[in-house]
Copies of this chain bind each other. A is one copy, B any other.
Amino acid sequence: MGISAEKNMPAKAKLKYIKSLQLKKYRTQEQCFVVEGAKSVAELLNSDFEITLVAATEEFAKQFEQQLLSRKVEVIPAHERELSSVGSLQTNSAAIAVAKMKHFPPPVVSPRDLVLALDNIRDPGNVGTILRTADWFGVTTVVASEETADFYNAKTIGATMGSFCRVRVHYVSLPDFLANVPVIFGTFLEGEDIHGISGVAGGVIVIGNEANGISAEVARRVTHRVTIPKYGNAESLNAAMATAIVLDNLRRSQK
């Protein structure tokens, strides 16, 4: 049995409840997740996520008093030490918030949309950085294989630097999702030079696993095999780097 947040719980128990949400099991049970640090909590306060609880230093609570009041959020005072001990950040001199997960209907992809598909990206930090990059390039729909790191993991949310408020991640069976998509890009060592691509309307861009690349079942669905030209000797690029370069080239091709 997990720890649930009740209005009349003492502050210490509430901090313990926040800590329990580091585990996916309790996040799923509570349908809640945690947002940490000044920038991310500030973005959350400006979003339409339902916020259930905020633990904040006096300074943060004062600075964001108006927003906390207008959102009718319960705020419990906390020391920096407490914030870092119940959260995942080494230092946190601002706040931790608890918000309700959202559930979205299955994504509908129009032929003019760019959509990312994460094929088994295991590292939460990588997923977060990829979502931040997607947000920069105006990609707000992301699908992910079930083995991809959890969107609501505190490290994922943290690495998005606030982009978790704008990008939707749908966990799906990728081969099934891709079965009816007409344009699917994937990076391979032997594809078309991405610098030569022009006039891309839209499509789904598959990003492969950090160690193994795109899985065989997903690779079969890829309609456009592209390559990022290599000028040196590194064996491969990190998944998030590849995402950044592909999105930059596809957006450039649309100009």
Which residues of A pack against B, CB within 8 Å? 129, 132-140, 161-163, 166, 195, 228-238, 240-241, 244-245, 248-249, 251-252, 255
Contact = CB atoms under 8 A, between A and B. Distances in A.
A195 B247 CA distance: 13
Given A129-B241, A137-B231, A245-B245, 16 more contacts: A132-B238, A135-B233, A136-B228, A136-B237, A161-B234, A161-B236, A162-B234, A162-B235, A163-B234, A166-B232, A195-B255, A240-B240, A240-B241, A241-B241, A248-B248, A248-B249
Contacts of A136: 228, 230-232, 234, 236-237, 241
Instruction: Provide the main secondary structure of the chain A interface.
Output: loop
Nearest to A244: B241
A99 to B, nearest CB: 19
Given A195-B255, A245-B248, A249-B248, A238 B138 contact: no
A157 B235 CA distance: 15
27 contacts: A129-B238, A129-B241, A133-B237, A135-B232, A135-B233, A135-B234, A136-B234, A136-B236, A136-B237, A136-B241, A137-B230, A137-B232, A138-B232, A138-B233, A161-B234, A161-B236, A162-B235, A163-B233, A166-B232, A195-B252, A229-B251, A240-B240, A241-B241, A241-B244, A245-B245, A245-B248, A248-B249
